[in-house]
Amino acid sequence: MSVIRPKPPTDPILHCPPPVWPDAAVAGRFAAAVERLEGLRGRVPPEADAAASLLAAYGTRAAPAPRRASALFAILDAARRVREGVDRVVVLADRPERSIVDLLLATCCHPFHAQLERPERGGRPRVFTLGEDADADRVQGVIDLLGDRAGDAIERRCALCAVGACRAPGTRACRAAVEGHAAALEPLRVGCAAAGTVPPADARTLLLPVAGSSDEACFPALLPAAIAGIDVVRLLEGMAAMERRFREAPLDANPVVTFVAVARALAAAGGPPVRRHLLPPPRWPGLAVWAAGLAATDGAPLTLAFATAVTVGESRRRLEPWSGDVAAVTAAAFDAIRLPRADEHAIGQLLALVRLARGLEALQDGGAAGAAR
């Protein structure tokens, strides 16, 4: 058997505008929006290419760098120490970061990762998420899973991972409840926060060179993803591929531009932009939660005028014969995003598409507001 490993696939994801528009006026507005967005594409700041920057600092054969000094190396090193030292990890995060962690666990791990025995998990910890949306039953349930007997055996050792700022009152309450059972927790405290935040005095906090907004929640989520064994380097490579595609691809083949243009085409002349609702596969609620939260931060009306289906062509595990995972655009959907498969590279592209589209929309909304004044 050859020892050469095949190169993982890196097929691009696609945004598919509706094949038939409601009327000629909407089709005309779509074409005009695509042309208008061309001028804005170059105004998206270089800081938006955060994934490419993290990878460049980490170092590649094409662009060598002092890898050990990079933020990505620090994340991978901290994740390795946690994996080797504990069996259960409680991730505490506000809604944006927690939704991304939940999405990555649902798409890039075994569907029952936390239920598998440690050897079947490849020695990786069980991961449980808590945050502002967690109710009392879930918090108490996680505490029960931590156990009440500390010891040297790795199966009895736990860790707390605080992701992002953790400012929401519900998140702080969850942390207080879990830390109240410190007898079940090892003294290991690992956090990941965006640059510019003040690390808590009782935690070792990794600072990422990205903004601390909801748009960037996917970057602090890299730490718990790496703890669970997800290939975060490949996830960032998918994000960087979409960043490069956004900068270089022709407009009609640019998924970020067409994604934004569809929403602009459906807006009434002179009216506020309409909002979309993502319809991902059933196990991916974190994607819809994160995207909806981004739309809620700009103060615009939150009327959900249309839906975008997120479909997957190939799952990680194939059960033959099986037709249950054949992707089909939901009848309620207006357009679609098609992923070739559910893996780190494709999910990275999807995350970058949503965050770049949000930045492009913010630029256009800001320009429209300035013109109105």
Which amino acid is it at 301? Answer: P
| Sheet with strand 88-93: strands edge to edge | 126-131, 88-93, 158-163, 189-194, 204-208
Question: Under DSSP, is residue 189 helix (H, G, I), strand (E, B) or coil?
Answer: strand
> From CA 274, how far away is CA 16, in angstroms rounded?
18
CA nearest neighbour of 166 among 128, 126, 127, 221: 221
Give CA angle at 329 (19, 251), nearest 5°. Answer: 45
What pLDDT is stored for residue 252 in this prediction? Answer: 81
What pLDDT is stored for residue 329 in this prediction? Answer: 45
> From CA 170, how far away is CA 303, in angstroms rounded?
27
Q: Chunk the chain into consecutive blocks of 10 residues (it has 373) and report each block's average pLDDT, rounded to whole numbers.
A: 69 91 90 88 83 87 74 90 88 92 93 89 92 92 79 77 88 88 54 56 63 78 94 96 94 91 81 80 89 69 75 71 46 86 94 92 66 37
pTM, 2 dp: 0.88
The strand pairing partners of 337, in sequence order, are 15, 310
Q: Angle 136-146/169-179 helices, nearest 10 degrees?
A: 30
What pLDDT is stored for residue 149 in this prediction? Answer: 58
Peptide bond into 169 cis (omega under 30): no
> From CA 258, how far away is CA 269, in angstroms rounded?
19
| Residue 64 half-sphere exposure toward CB, CA atoms < 13 A | 0
> From CA 123, how far away is CA 363, in angstroms rounded?
45
Which stretch of DSSP H or E encloses residue 61? none
The strand pairing partners of 171, in sequence order, are none
- The CA distances from residue 139 to 9, 223, 227, in Å, are 39, 21, 21
State the sign of the Cα–Cα–Cα–Cα dihedral 96, 326, 235, 358. negative
> From CA 148, how far away is CA 184, in angstroms rounded?
5
> From CA 294, how far away is CA 83, in angstroms rounded?
32
Asked if residue 355 lies in contact with residue 216, where contact means CB atoms within 8 angstroms, the answer is yes
The strand pairing partners of 64, in sequence order, are none
Asked if residue 182 lies in contact with residue 90, where contact means CB atoms within 8 angstroms, the answer is no
Asked if residue 290 lies in contact with residue 259, where contact means CB atoms within 8 angstroms, the answer is no
> From CA 227, how far away is CA 225, in angstroms rounded?
5
Range 37-43 contact pairs with CB under 8 angstroms and sequence separation of 24 or more: 37/251, 37/257, 37/260, 37/261, 37/360, 37/364, 38/251, 38/257, 40/360, 40/363, 40/364, 40/367, 41/246, 41/247, 41/254, 41/257, 41/360, 43/363
Asked if residue 173 lies in contact with residue 94, where contact means CB atoms within 8 angstroms, the answer is no
